[in-house]
Chain A
Amino acid sequence: MNNENDILEELANREYEFGFVTDIDMDVAPLGLSEDTVRYISEKKNEPSWLLDWRMKAYQAFLKEPLPTWQNFTLPDIDFQAASYYAAPRQQAKYQSLDEVDPELLATFAKLGIPLSEQKVLAGVAVDVIFDSVSVATTYKKQLADLGIIFCSLGEAVQEHPELVSKYLGSVVPHSDNIFAALNAGVFSDGSFVYIPKGVRCPMELSTYFRINAENNGQFERTLIIADENSYVSYLEGCTAPKRDTNQLHAAVVELIALEGAEIKYSTVQNWYPGDKEGKGGIYNFVTKRGICKGAHSKISWTQVETGSAITWKYPSVILQGDYSTGEFYSVAVTAGKQIADTGTKMHHIGRETKSRIISKGISAGQGNNSYRGLVQIGSKANYARNFTQCDSLLIGDQCGAHTFPYIESRNATAKVEHEATTSKIGEDQLFYLNQRGIDTEKAVALIINGYAKEVLNQLPMEFAVEAQKLLSITLEGSVG
């Protein structure tokens, strides 16, 4: 009963709840990656030539870009030719209403707890759903349009708002940023697009739900959010995938642009399939997320709860260009089984009196390995810039690992940078104390974990916070016993 080995065993045996496959008629690109693949996708999406050119440049960059070597894990061999770079439910390109959507698809999302019929959608959350490569449904579109808010798939935005897309696409994460971002720029199939006009406060949470279904399919979605002057938006992202024996690559790119006085809050609950107990299968989640506080007094806040994926590799960052702008990063990353997470953030202070705040909570169980990697960079003009970083690690069992790699570079003597870090273990004493009050070990662990992660969970919108709490409990089910 006491022993942590039991924990580990149980933990390894936990089941992934969303591992089912939907049997649906799909349009799938042939396996492999070449200029033809890029052309195929661009053609399928009926894209203008400027976009195809951009994709081609990115593809060339991808070919030249080496795989990174600085990460705190051994990068598995990735055979880029073994995947298909485009998969879409066959049934027609665009739905006029949800009635036209394949019922099988609707059933899938219902199973995932995301009913798409607008009446049933959680009050006040507009949802865009990406199934494999394409956006299948966007809810509440009309209500948002009345406010001038654009919320649609990126593919649709390319057709209908080309001036916005061409202006901002690749402006924060350039096509050659890193090998995975370059790959994404070359072959991205769809994603979400958001534009909030000047002075508009988006009245509901905007949400995208990503689902990988097809086998051998990589998912390369791209999200672009633009908050015009003095606007506000809160955006949520959730994801799941079926259980597969092979690893699937998810290389997404997210770009956020906050103009003067604007605020973007971006929340992620990531629950991709983590692989089985031997570490077989699972998603490689190699994501580039970056936002720019372009205007003065703007703010970008990233919140992430990372519980899934075989490997998570992402550093949601903020470029603090506007004076008095603020960047925030709140993260809970859990690794159980044989999961690996190398995650953190970068805060580039460029403007004066820019502020950033980093709260990172790592939880390692089983044989999981959790690394926090962060960069706080203060430029020479960032007078009186301030950063506060708190980086905590919680260990469960004796076979897991927690690492921190904080980098601080300051070129300005007036800047103030603070860094705090702690490492703790769930104590037998804590568990016994809760047991003695009638609370079983499972619930006790959930209580302790949620307490530990509270500062981050509090940042999430209500519906998501509840989901995230449940997810944490499920992920760590049987982790101490």
Chain B
Amino acid sequence: MLSIRNLHAEVEEKKILKGINLQVNAGEVHAIMGPNGSGKSSLASVLSGRDSYRVTNGQVLLDGKDLLDMSPEVRAREGVFLAFQYPVEIPGVSNINFLKTAVSEIRAHRGLPPLEAREFLRLSKERQALVEFDAGLVNRSLNEGFSGGEKKRNEIFQLAMLEPRLAILDETDSGLDIDALRIVSGAVNKLRSADNAFIIITHYQRLLEYIVPDFVHVLYDGRIVRSGTKELALELEEKGYDWLKETMQENATAQQIVI
């Protein structure tokens, strides 16, 4: 579904991604871990098309189409969804109207007419229940005055409504208490299917106890330095990122010797 090849990107002339390679297939959940500043959120930003990032090399294909060539809204309509680490507030725009617009745009892209008001309402109710989202928040202004946890849960509600092919969760677990974490991961588990895929960016192993990934990748200094299965996350949790840094340095030294 998604194939990232030798992706390099910079922000304000600073190299952030230095050759990422990643293959994500339908039905898979990939976790991306790494210390602060390793490039995890930058990868999410580049994939979703945030403006401040400049891709300097490499290729990203979504179902064979050149993702980097698309505007952010076209990427979204093609099925890329980013659950933001810091969702913004938009005063006066009701959550539900915003979602209705988004759903209509995405449907139009697929050649489908907008949902009838009743049908949309039904879908919204059903998904609210699925992700245990507070009905009171649905008609409020988009994220305005929401608590940190409510904003994150709103991201998951939107995810449920928009049914993306590829969902990227950017540190969705940060700032959630244990109950919210359980609800959010429960929702993700319900939304997992053979047709979609998830990239879960997280700093801690904690989330992965609830959402069991098929693969775990460790990002360090703009590169994926380790890939494995869920055991890798446990190992990382146990030994800490310093362990990783040390092994990286050893590798670098070893390479120098080889040269």
Task: Tell me, in angstroms, the Cα distance from A432 to B97 when the chains sit together.
Answer: 17
Q: Which residues of A contact B71 (CB under 8 A)?
A: 1, 435, 440
Q: How far is the CA of A434 from the CA of B81 in the complex (A)?
A: 11
Residues of B within 8 A of A450 (CB): 92-93
Known: A438-B105, A451-B93. A433 touches B88 (CB 8 A): yes
- B98 close to chain A: CB less than 8 A: yes
Chain A residues, CB < 8 A from B48: 436
B76→A451 contact, CB < 8 A: no
Residues on the A chain within 8 Å of B84, using CB:
433, 436
Tell me, rounded to whole Å, the shortest Cβ–Cβ distance linking B144 to chain A.
9
Partner of B92, one of A433, A441, A451: A451
Known: A439-B105, A448-B90, A450-B92. 9 other contacts (CB 8 A): A433-B87, A433-B88, A433-B90, A434-B102, A436-B48, A436-B49, A437-B105, A451-B92, A451-B93
Q: B residues within 8 A CB of A419? A: none
Whether the pair B93, A438 counts as a contact (CB closer than 8 A) is: no
Residue interface bits B71-103, CB-to-A below 8 A is 1, else 0: 111011100011010011011111001110110
In the complex formed, the residue of B with least CB distance to A427 is: B88
Bound: A99/B75 CA distance, A: 55
The answer to whether B91 and A438 have CB atoms under 8 Å apart is no
Pick the contact of A438 from B51, B88, B142, B162 — CB < 8 Å? Answer: B162
Q: Is A443 an interface residue (CB 8 A)?
A: yes
Complex A-B: 10 CB contacts under 8 Å = A428-B51, A432-B72, A433-B90, A434-B102, A436-B49, A436-B73, A436-B81, A439-B98, A440-B73, A448-B92
A448 engages B93 (CB within 8 Å): yes
What are the residues of chain A within 8 A of B109 when measuring CB–CB?
438
Complexed CA–CA distance, A346 and B175 (Å): 48
Given contacts A434-B98, A438-B76, A439-B73, contact A454 B92 (CB under 8 A): yes
Q: Which parts of A110-137 form the interface with B (CB within 8 Å)? A: none
Given A451-B141, A454-B92: A437 and B158 interface contact (C-beta under 8 Å): yes
A429 within 8 A of B: yes
Asked, given contacts A427-B88, A450-B93, A451-B91, whether A432 binds B98 with beta carbons under 8 Å apart, the answer is: no
Contact partner of A430 (CB less than 8 A), chosen from B52, B90, B94, is B90
Contacts A437-B102, A439-B102 given; does A1 touch B51 at CB 8 Å: yes
Q: Chain B CB within 10 Å — which of A427, A437, A438, A443 has the most?
A: A438
**A166 at the binding interface (Cβ < 8 Å):** no
Q: Is B32 among interface residues, defined by CB-CB distance under 8 A?
A: no
Cβ-defined contact, B91 with A432, below 8 A: no
> Which residue of B is nearest A440, CB measured?
B73
* B interface, CB within 8 angstroms of A: 48-52, 71-73, 75-77, 81-82, 84, 87-88, 90-94, 97-99, 101-102, 105-106, 109, 141-142, 158, 162
Q: Which residues of B contact A453 (CB under 8 A)?
A: 92
Question: Contacts A1-B51, A447-B93 known; A439 to B88 CB distance under 8 Å?
Answer: no
Identity of the chain B residue whose Cβ is nearest the Cβ of A452 in the assembled complex: B92
Q: How many A-B residue pairs have CB under 8 A?
A: 81
* Cα A180 to Cα B75 with chains together (Å): 55
Known: A443-B101, A447-B101. A438 touches B106 (CB 8 A): yes
Q: Shortest distance in angstroms between A193's beta carbon and chain B's nearest beta carbon?
A: 37
Docked Cα-Cα span, A2 to B51, in Å, equals 6
Residue on A nearest B109 in the bound complex, by CB: A438
Question: B105 near A451 (CB under 8 angstroms)?
Answer: no
* Nearest-neighbor residue (CB-CB) of B76 within chain A: A438
Collect the chain A residues with CB atoms within 8 Å of residue B105's CB: 437-440, 443
Contact mask A307-329 → B, CB, 8 Å, 1/0? 00000000000000000000000
- Closest A residue to B48 by beta carbon equals A436
CA distance A453 to B92 in the complex (A): 8
Nearest A-chain residue to B98, judged by Cβ: A447
Contacts of A2 in B (CB 8 A): 51-52
The reply to whether B91 and A437 contact each other, CB–CB distance below 8 Å, is no
Of chain B, the residue at the smallest CB distance from A437 is B102
Contact A438–B92 (Cβ < 8 Å)? no
Q: How far apart are the CA atoms of A428 and B91 in the complex, in Å?
A: 15
- Among B52, B82, B90, B98, max chain A CB count under 10 A is at B90
- Shortest beta-carbon distance, A310 to chain B, in Å? 29
Cα distance A288–B238 in the bound complex, in angstroms: 75
Interface string of A243-277 (1 = CB under 8 A from B): 00000000000000000000000000000000000
Q: Which of A1-51 contact B (CB under 8 A)?
A: 1-2
A373 to B109, CA, bound (A): 45
Closest A residue to B79 by CB, please name it: A438
Residues of A within 8 A of B92 (CB): 448, 450-455
Given known contacts A428-B51, A447-B101, A436 and B72 CB-to-CB distance under 8 angstroms = yes
A436 to B164, CA, bound (A): 11
- Residues A435 and B93 in contact in the complex (CB < 8 Å), given A443-B101, A443-B105, A451-B141: no
| Residue of B whose beta carbon sits closest to that of A433 | B88
CB distance from B51 to the nearest CB of A (A): 4
Within 8 Å CB of A427, what residues of B? Answer: 88
Q: Give A427 to B86 CA distance when docked, in angstroms.
A: 14
Q: Which residue of B lies closest to A2 (CB)?
A: B51
Interface centre among A2, A447, A453 (most CB of B within 10 A): A447
Q: Within the assembled complex, what's the spacing in Å between the Cα atoms of A436 and B74?
A: 8
C-alpha spacing A9/B29, complex, angstroms: 44
Q: Which 6 A-B pairs have the closest CB atoms?
A: A451-B92, A451-B93, A435-B72, A438-B76, A437-B102, A438-B105
B15 to chain A, nearest CB (A): 20
* A456 to B: closest C-beta gap in Å: 10
Taking a contact as CB atoms under 8 Å apart, the answer to whether A429 and B73 are in contact is: no
The CA of A2 and the CA of B162, in the complex, are separated in Å by: 25
Nearest-CB distance from A444 to chain B (Å)? 8
Once the chains are docked, how many angstroms separate the CA of A326 from the CA of B82? 48
**A453 to B162 Cα, complex, angstroms:** 27
Contacts of A439 in B (CB 8 A): 73, 98, 101-102, 105
Given A1-B51, A432-B51, A433-B84, are A438 and B73 neighbors across the interface (CB < 8 Å)? yes
Residue B77 contacts which of A433, A434, A438, A454 (CB distance < 8 angstroms)? A438
